[in-house]
Amino acid sequence: MAKSNIGKFSGRKSNAQIKEEFRQEKKKAREEKNAYFEKKKAEEKRLKPQDTRFKRQDERDKAQGTRDQHPKSRNQQEETSNKKQGRFEKESARKPIKKVTKEDKRFKMETIPAPVTFRKEKSAAEMPLNKYIAHCGVCSRRDAVELIKDEKVKVNGKVVTEPGYKVQDDDKVNVNGKNIFIQKELVYILLNKPKDYITTSDDPQGRRTIMDLMRGVEGPRIYPVGRLDRNTTGVLLLTNDGELTQKLSHPSFQVKKVYEVTLDRPLEKGDFEKMMNGLTLEDGFIAPDALGYADPKNKKILGIEIHSGRNRIVRRMFEHLGYDVKGLDRVLFANLTKKNVDRGKWRYLNEKEVRLLKFLNKSFVKKKEEQKGKNRDEE
């Protein structure tokens, strides 16, 4: 592995790491303090004389006398209980419980940054229908073809089954009963994702999602580019730019991702070589682009560079060799880092960063397509 790749993880701790350790120490001290006072309170309550015991006994006697004046048979009591239970069951079926997630004050932004948006100049005119759907952020071009063939897409109220249909500026496109539009005001946000947050816009189980961290963000609805597991932290890009989302998610663009991995035990030399040579998992062969120890004295912590977007791919690679991943932090995605962005916080991308994302690996893809054309001509 090149020295520059290892350098991403070695050296002094970052400010974010130092702050996180300080917060954890503070949290531990607070918990110990609360436990001490709870224990002291329980002892005082146990030793305190029960002055109200005679009053409570009188209340119980009085209640017993009232029940004796109006006795109920066992069958009547059961019938009343069943009626109440049935009523509660009907009410619960009629009004489902809605889980409400409380705002996590640890990651609350003191001031919300001013929105940074970019005007989309490109027109939808003469754009193929499947490409138009992908640019609207609905799905990939390939999945859009399936939607069109399944007659789930309408243009100006009529079903269109030809993916190559050219969309005009005044056309109204409807997918699965919803009108879609190419976004005109584009937003790009970089989030330093913390643990215990789901990478989705909405969770039916009421768990915390990354959108809970985006409270206060105004403007168009944004979506995450790719996914990070619940317990994986680090760089995550959110945008409403469907075209860029498809580009960064497609494996042909070779988008680089760098992770810091913390294992339950040091990675042995033999397993290091096995991983570099590549592993055959249940969904196919995989090999990292680069691998190295972040600290030569602590071989539990490694840096791994990879461009595959397969589900839980980094964790599965180490689990395949018998290691348990205790921590996984994405430190780089598409040349974006979490520098100056604390855990649980976010910021808008600037114009230069957006421009670099737009032209990311463009020359690489162009050369790849040219090589494919040459091979086709030779055949």
Q: Is 271 designated active site? A: no
Question: 19 vs 28, 47, 232, 341, 343, CA distance in Å?
Answer: 14, 43, 19, 12, 9
Question: 247 vs 201, 221, 324, 361, CA distance in Å?
Answer: 20, 19, 32, 10
Whole-number Å distance between alpha carbons of 151 and 163: 11
Please name which of 245, 265, 263 lies closest in space to residue 255, comparing C-alpha atoms. Answer: 245
Question: 99 vs 91, 106, 231, CA distance in Å?
Answer: 17, 21, 21
Please name which of 115, 351, 127 lies closest in space to residue 136, comparing C-alpha atoms. Answer: 127
Q: Which amino acid is at 195?
A: K
- SS3 assignment, position 219: coil
Q: Of residues 104, 229, 271, 342, which has the active-site annotation?
A: 229
Please name which of 218, 243, 19, 239 lies closest in space to residue 115, comparing C-alpha atoms. Answer: 218
321 token code pair: 């060799």
Contacts of 349 (CB under 8 A, 6+ apart): 116, 188, 189, 190, 336, 357
Whole-number Å distance between alpha carbons of 10 and 50: 63
Catalytic residue positions, numbered: 229
